[in-house]
């Protein structure tokens, strides 16, 4: 690592951490003081609330802090005439910004990797603590399709991995041929085990003199293999988040069932791809910065850069909401805009730096 790279990274990381810590303290602090009266008296639950809220806020503030830290670094380098000195020494622009982009890319990969862990459900967990439901999470009236089966759970306990009052209907060619009713089911060994099931079978061909309905009981019966309680909890919730691993599992399973996967694909695109929208912003901010502090308007540059960053971030957040509620397909609302954003940014950067 060259001396120049170390110097630029030292300036950038210092600015980045100052901005990140400031934003985290601001958002987490305001949220805590607004809700402190509604939090449980338990100190442990209050600390957990702060922890979950801090990680959830981090997923929002880290990308913005990476950009704002870069803006602050450029202001420092320009005001100290360091940027013009680097250029006078023959240092290319790529050598100045490439180390920063590499660090940015690495930190984005880290936050994406954390989204594959249970921390991805931080927003949901902090809301449960706030509502006093941290230890008693339940979902009611879940109805889903699995192969030829339609399954109804009256109550689902995702944390305990169990369900109550289950009804399963086997439909073949639009004809109901079998129903299974049970009071309890448990998720073990990657499948659901139905306890004390009552199975009612209707004959496929009805002959009034001889046909009869067969009723039998099974001690154990398994179904819904691979359908994790957390997937059930989130797929059928209007407002919910997914960890990357659970989203991939749900995507593969729902595709097999022929169920619409727009919401899950949108969540995956947003968590994995959309975070990288800040890379073109950092390139454009550098392209439109000045070399000489004499002709550099700090206030105008800083305010426009921050405003531009927030506008782009807000647009992608809005497009994610469109894909989440089914207004637009995630490919049209997220992937296509990301492709256009990178293409337009590359063209603008090339034109700006070619002069």
pLDDT digits 0-9 by tens, 58-77: 998 999 999 999 999 999 88
| 135/109 same-domain check | no
Is 44 part of any domain?
yes
User: How many domains would you assign to the chain?
Assistant: 2
Query: pTM score > 0.85 for this model?
Result: no
Mean pLDDT of the chain: 83
pLDDT (mean) for 327-339: 87
Domain boundary (265, 295, 318) is at 265
Residues 66, 104: contact at Cβ < 8 Å?
A: yes
pLDDT of residue 15: 94
Reply yes or no on whether the pLDDT at 22 is more than 90. Answer: yes
- Report the alpha-carbon distance of residue 311 to residue 321 in Å, rounded: 15
Q: What is the pLDDT of residues 262-304, one digit of tens each?
A: 778 888 888 889 889 999 999 999 988 877 777 778 888 899 9
pLDDT score for 149: 75
Domain match, 279 and 302 both: yes
Q: What is the pLDDT of residue 108?
A: 94
Higher-pLDDT residue of 173 and 227 is: 173
236 and 191 both lie in a single domain: yes
Report for 2-6, 155-159, 237-241: range of highest mean pLDDT: 2-6
- In this structure, is residue 222 part of a structural domain? yes
Distances (CA, A) of 104 to 59, 91, 258, 351: 14, 21, 39, 24
pLDDT band at residue 45 under the 50/70/90 scheme? confident
Question: How do strand 191-201 and strand 175-188 relate by DSSP bridges?
Answer: antiparallel
Domain boundary among 265, 299, 328: 265
**Whole-angstrom Cα distance, residue 49 to residue 36?**
10
User: φ and ψ at 139, to 5 degrees?
Assistant: -130, 145
Tell whether the model's pLDDT for residue 340 goes beyond 90.
Answer: yes
**Token pair recorded at residue 48:** 């957990």
The more confidently predicted of residues 210 and 164 is: 164
In a domain, 120, yes or no: no
Following DSSP, what letter does each residue of 101-130 receive, concatenated? HHHHHHHHHHHHHHTTSGGGGHHHHHHHHH
**φ, ψ dihedrals at 115, nearest 5°:** -70, -10
* Confidence check: pLDDT of 200 > 90: no
Regarding whether 338 and 299 lie in a shared domain, the answer is: yes
Query: In the numeric block, which tokens belong to residue 138?
Result: 């339940």
Q: 233, 265, 297 — which closes off a domain?
A: 265
In this predicted structure, what is the pLDDT of residue 298?
A: 84
- Among residues 275, 254, 247, the alpha carbon closest in space to that of 334 is found at 275
Which DSSP state fits 217? Answer: E
Mark whether 145 and 250 lie in a shared domain.
yes
The more confident residue out of 16 and 178 is 16
pLDDT tens-digit map of 81-100: 888 787 777 777 788 888 99
Q: What is the pLDDT of residue 177?
A: 82
**Do 262 and 326 contact (CB within 8 A), yes or no?**
yes
pLDDT at 213 over 70: yes
Is 123 within the bounds of a domain?
no
| 222 in the same domain as 339 | no
Which band of pLDDT confidence, cut at 50, 70 and 90, is reported for residue 210? Answer: low
Count CB atoms within 10 A of the CB of residue 327.
12
Q: Name which residue leads in pLDDT, 325 or 276.
A: 276
Domain that holds residue 184: 130-265
Residue 226 has pLDDT above 70, yes or no: no
- Higher-pLDDT residue of 259 and 312 is 312
* E-only strand ranges, 257-334: none
């Amino acid at each position: 690592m060259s001396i120049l790279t170390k110097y630029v990274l030292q300036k950038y990381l210092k600015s980045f951490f100052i901005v990140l810590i400031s934003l985290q303290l601001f958002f987490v602090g305001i949220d805590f003081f607004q809700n402190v009266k509604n939090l449980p008296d338990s100190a442990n639950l209050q600390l957990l609330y702060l922890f979950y809220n801090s990680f959830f806020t981090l997923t929002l503030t880290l990308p913005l802090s990476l950009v704002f830290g870069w803006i602050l670094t450029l202001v420092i380098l320009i005001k100290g005439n360091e940027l013009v000195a680097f250029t006078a020494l023959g240092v290319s622009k790529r050598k100045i910004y490439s180390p920063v982009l590499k660090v940015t890319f690495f930190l984005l990969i880290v936050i994406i990797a954390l989204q594959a862990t249970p921390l991805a459900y931080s927003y949901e967990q902090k809301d449960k603590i706030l509502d006093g439901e941290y230890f008693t999470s339940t979902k009611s009236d879940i109805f889903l399709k699995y192969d030829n089966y339609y399954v109804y759970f009256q109550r689902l306990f995702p944390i305990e991995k169990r369900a109550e009052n289950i009804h399963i209907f086997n439909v073949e060619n639009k004809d109901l041929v079998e129903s299974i009713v049970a009071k309890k089911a448990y998720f073990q060994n990657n499948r659901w085990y139905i306890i004390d099931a009552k199975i009612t079978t209707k004959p496929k061909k009805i002959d009034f003199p001889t046909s009869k309905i067969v009723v039998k009981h099974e001690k154990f019966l398994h179904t819904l293999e691979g359908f994790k309680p957390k997937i059930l909890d989130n797929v059928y919730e209007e407002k919910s988040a997914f960890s990357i691993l659970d989203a991939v599992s749900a995507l593969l399973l729902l595709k097999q069932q022929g169920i619409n996967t727009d919401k899950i694909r949108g969540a995956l695109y947003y968590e994995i791809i959309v975070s990288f929208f800040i890379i073109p912003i950092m390139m454009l901010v550098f392209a439109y910065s000045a070399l000489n502090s004499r002709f550099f308007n700090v206030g105008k540059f800083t305010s426009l850069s921050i405003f531009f960053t927030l506008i782009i971030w807000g647009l992608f957040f809005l497009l994610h909401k469109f894909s989440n509620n089914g207004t637009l397909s995630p490919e049209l609302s997220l992937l296509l805009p990301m492709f256009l954003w990178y293409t337009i940014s590359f063209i603008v950067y090339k034109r700006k730096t070619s002069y």
